Amino acid sequence: MENYPQSFSINMQPYGRNGGSTAINPTATSFGQATSFGQMEPAPISTPPPKDFVLWSFFNTVYCNPFCLGFLALVFSIKARDRTVAKDPMAANSYGRTARSLNIAALCLGTVGTIILLVLLIVYRPTYP
């Protein structure tokens, strides 16, 4: 006689209004791994990817680009994004910090330069008789 698989049932959580998950807000459960002593190890914690500041760099490249600092920030931002894709978080973090510093410098110099230009235009405006 052949052995057929035994029947079994699957207990599923309710889906919808009765305290279960919904399509908009599903519930997620993480499980750890069992050790040789039967204790559970904590689940691995995922770290967020390093920031690359691409949008800020693009803004500084187009609008505030004194001494090409905005363009250099854009280059380092793209390098940070490439290193993130290549799964090298240390290099991505380093390039991201450099891009952030260049963005700060470009934005400050661009803002100060614009303010100085406006003040000079207002003070030395031509007067016509």
Is 103 within a domain? yes
Is 7 within a domain? no
Is 34 within a domain? no
Is 13 within a domain? no
pLDDT-based confidence at residue 11 (cuts at 50, 70, 90): low
Number of domains in the chain: 1
CA distance 85 to 48: 13
How many helices, marked H, and strands, marked E, lie in the chain?
A: 3, 0
Looking at the chain, the whole-number percentage of residues with pLDDT higher than 70 is 65
Lowest-confidence segment of 41-50, 62-71, 80-89, 90-99 by average pLDDT: 41-50
**Contact status, residue 64 vs residue 107, Cβ threshold 8 Å:** yes
SS3 content of the chain, % helix, strand, coil (to 5): 50, 5, 45
Domain residues for 100? 54-123
Encoded tokens for 93: 């973090």
Is 8 within a domain? no
Is 11 within a domain? no
The predicted-structure confidence for 20-36, as pLDDT tens digits, reads as follows 545 554 554 444 555 55
Is 26 within a domain? no
In this predicted structure, the answer to whether residue 10 has a pLDDT above a threshold of 70 is: no
Higher pLDDT, 121 or 13: 121
In this predicted structure, the answer to whether residue 3 has a pLDDT above a threshold of 90 is: no
